Chain A
Amino acid sequence: MEAVKRFIDRMRSKSPWLLHFDCGSCNGCDIEILACLTPVYDVERFGIINVGNPFHADVLLSSGTVNHRNKKVLANLYAQMPSPKLVVAIGACGLSGGIFREAYNVVGGIDKVLPVDVYVPGCPPKPEAIIDGVVLGLQKLQRLHEQPSVEKGA
């Protein structure tokens, strides 16, 4: 049973499919996310695919400040993703609201709406940092999977 679990975890970390949602970012972060797909970085080497469908996604990459209009969309996208799932907040605005945090229409960072697993800071973060964030998230996903069994044993 342990071996099967470990096998499933390995498969999960070998094929993370990303869903990218722009919560009103200036497009700086989005361009860096899309740069990961170019031949220079070629994230398909790690089985990463940028899907457009929350039903198929494992990792939600979200950039930009959350405001009162798009927080429902963000929550809806997260609800449509089958678990296990990860949320990666990208850029200063995604982390805290950035320079827009005090505007009247801004709720704040992604973590005001969703449980964020990995924060990737930067304005905008480098593509390497984004790839690093996703890899970190996958490690967290595996550890999350292990935790309950440890508790059961104790």
Chain B
Amino acid sequence: MTRTVILIACGLIAGPILGGLFSGMDRILTARMQSRIGPPLLQPFYDVAKLLFKESLVVNVWQVFCAYCYIAASSIALVLFFLQSDLLLILFVQAVGAVMLVVGALSSTSPYSHIGAHRELLQILSYEPLLVLVVVGFYLETGSFKLTSIYAWREPLLLKLPFLFIVLGYVLTIKLRKSPFDLSTCHHAHQEIVKGLLTDYSGLFLALTEIAHWFEIVLLLGFCTLFWATNWFGMAALIVATYFLEVLVDNTTSRMNWRWMLSYVWGVGLTLSLVNLIWLHQG
């Protein structure tokens, strides 16, 4: 019982702290890649603390409800991950949060918010099937959806699921809002479609969506650790390498349109997953 409480607390604390540090590192790395110095490491925390104490301009009460639902769903998803729960359950709880953010954006009348919401829906449509296929890959190899049995697996899963790891990389790029898939809202293009999905979230509610995003970052990097669950060093190395690659991709590619995203991500992602799944089934 105490173990459960400690794990829940770990999830709730580790999410914002690790997520904020990762996005701080991200901003510094991005700045260095653009030959700038960049903000301090704790800049994301300063931003969120400032937003928490700003005046709240509410466009629609539903948006408030949606912002709370988004942070609730993404924090529950991470807590379930820390509790070593069922992968499919985590996946769908996280999907509820992602959809609530879109519902909040659609509840305003701003055209920028609407176009961002529609693009976000297309992004969800692009990555969600791939994420399910990654989980199916875990099941085919280990015979279970439970995280406890995946973490207890004898050998690193990366050796059996290399293509599915690349597929998870695509999902990560979309979820972390990185180029070329940062269509709905972006960390860099503050002027493009105003701020897309987040246009009408302000003050406290913008801070909530940011914290919820940190929970999602940590959850997805947690998914990455499953590919090398045999030792801590492997997990850490995999996370660092993946995140560095994400930032590199973000800074070397340009934003594309949703048609390209959908055809490219489904084309490459589904092919790679099917090849890997057939290979697992045969072997």
Q: How many residues of B contact A (CB 8 A)?
A: 31
Quick one: given A52-B191, A55-B199, are A8 and B53 in contact (CB under 8 Å)?
yes
Minimal Cβ-Cβ distance residue in A for B43: A47
Which residues in A have their C-beta under 8 angstroms from that of B40?
Answer: 47
Closest chain-A Cβ to B229's Cβ sits at a distance in Å of 37
Which residues in A have their C-beta under 8 angstroms from that of B206?
Answer: 55-56
Within 8 A of A (CB), among B183-225: 190-192, 194-195, 198-203, 206
State the CA gap A83–B34 with chains docked (Å): 33
A55, B200: Cβ atoms closer than 8 Å = yes
Secondary structure at the A interface, as helix, strand, loop or mixed, is mixed
Q: How many A-B residue pairs have CB under 8 A?
A: 76
Minimal Cβ-Cβ distance residue in B for A46: B39
Closest 6 CB pairs of A and B: A52-B191, A55-B202, A82-B55, A11-B49, A14-B46, A42-B36
Which residues in B have their C-beta under 8 angstroms from that of A52?
Answer: 190-192, 194-195
Closest chain-A Cβ to B172's Cβ sits at a distance in Å of 24
Which residues in A have their C-beta under 8 angstroms from that of B46?
Answer: 11, 14-15, 47
Q: Does B47 contact A (CB under 8 A)?
A: yes
Report which residue of B50, B191, B194, B200 has the largest number of chain A beta carbons within 10 angstroms of its beta carbon. B50
Q: Does B27 contact A (CB under 8 A)?
A: yes
State the CA gap A7–B50 with chains docked (Å): 10
Q: Does B31 contact A (CB under 8 A)?
A: yes
Minimal Cβ-Cβ distance residue in B for A41: B36
Which residues in B have their C-beta under 8 angstroms from that of A12?
Answer: 50, 53
State the CA gap A44–B199 with chains docked (Å): 21
Q: Give me the interface of A with B, judged by CB distance under 8 Å.
A: 7-8, 11-12, 14-15, 39, 42, 44-47, 49-53, 55-56, 58, 80, 82-84
Beyond A42-B36, A56-B195, A82-B203, 7 additional pairs, beta carbon < 8 A = A12-B50, A39-B36, A44-B39, A52-B194, A55-B201, A58-B50, A80-B57
